Copies of this chain bind each other. A is one copy, B any other.
């Protein structure tokens, strides 16, 4: 585990705000979970449910909400949102490795590519003709940047990212290894039992501050572009079909599949392995539970779910047999209702 350079509590509060209880000279070198934090580390408790961690920690300091500040046995930073504060402290203590600009002699930069002087191109990367790479951007080892791709400033493309021709990437975009941006969408017209390919002539447009996890794929548009708006966070192994639009600041967990031409709103949260059909609209601030299939549009904010109950295999078998017979069951209930109604009619 890397160890950042230390910061005093006083410096932390000066930079990030919050109220400090305790000695501002205490030096913190790393963040850690409270149960194993050491004297030079800082942890956090965000909810009363974890208050017990405050009593036993050996951390040098804790980040707590006002309602728990009395329970801290160590130095404490009091703030309304300890988790967000913790994220900021960790970012201070663990800054991304600083970039040494330059082009590795084993990179291949084709004539006509424009690499900003403050960018870094790793070994065995390939930069196509007409591509533009902004200042402060890292194109790590083995990446492929296609013809006429435009990548902004301060991006970080980890090793072996592929960006197909003509795609446009904003500033501060992070892409992890194995990401593929701009491969052809899955578009075919059937004719006489065969598939005719529809040329995919759109692009992928990625906004600022988007993060994309390992082995995620985003297809280029068929005619129009596929668009990922600013601030979207995508986990690993997500598939986004052609002509989708993902609204700003939406977060999508791993293994999600989104079929073509679907528009997802802003500030949505899509749980892991959810499956979203094609040509749908999902409103802003919709939460889709993990492992949930979405076959139709969702027009109203809120949480939506479709998960079949998990059971021991034998119980599952029995429940499932009953479900398969549910129409028959409803029929029997209808019959009972009729019989009873008849009885009551007959009764004097």
Name A residues whose Cβ lies closer than 8 Å to a Cβ of B: 1-2, 30-33, 36, 81, 83-84, 86-88, 90-91, 93-94, 104, 106, 108, 122-124, 126, 140-142, 144, 146, 158-160, 162, 164, 166, 174, 176-178, 180, 183-184, 186, 188-191, 193-199, 201-203, 211, 213-215, 217, 219, 223-224, 231, 233, 235-237, 239, 241, 249, 251, 253-255, 257, 259, 267, 272-273, 275, 277-278, 287, 289-296, 298, 302-313, 316-320, 322-327, 329-330, 332-333, 336-337, 339-340, 343
Least CB distance, A164 to chain B, in whole angstroms: 7
Residues on B with beta carbons closer than 8 Å to the beta carbon of A312: 302-305
Give which listed residue, B104, B196, B254, B295, contacts A239 with CB less than 8 A.
Answer: B254
Q: Report yes or no: B178 in contact with A267, Cβ–Cβ below 8 A.
A: no
Q: How far is the CA of A158 from the CA of B147 in the complex (A)?
A: 13
Give which listed residue, B162, B189, B310, B323, contacts A323 with CB less than 8 A.
Answer: B323
Q: How far is the CA of A343 from the CA of B342 in the complex (A)?
A: 13
Q: Report yes or no: A272 in contact with B257, Cβ–Cβ below 8 A.
A: yes
State the oligomeric state as a number of copies: 3
Give which listed residue, B104, B162, B239, B330, contacts A160 with CB less than 8 A.
Answer: B162
Give which listed residue, B84, B178, B251, B308, contacts A308 with CB less than 8 A.
Answer: B308
Q: How far is the CA of A141 from the CA of B203 in the complex (A)?
A: 20
Given the contacts A186-B253, A259-B254, A322-B326, A214 and B180 also touching, CB distance less than 8 Å: yes
Residues on B with beta carbons closer than 8 Å to the beta carbon of A291: 275, 277, 293, 295
Closest to A176 in B: B183
Q: Report yes or no: B32 in contact with A235, Cβ–Cβ below 8 A.
A: no
Closest to A288 in B: B310
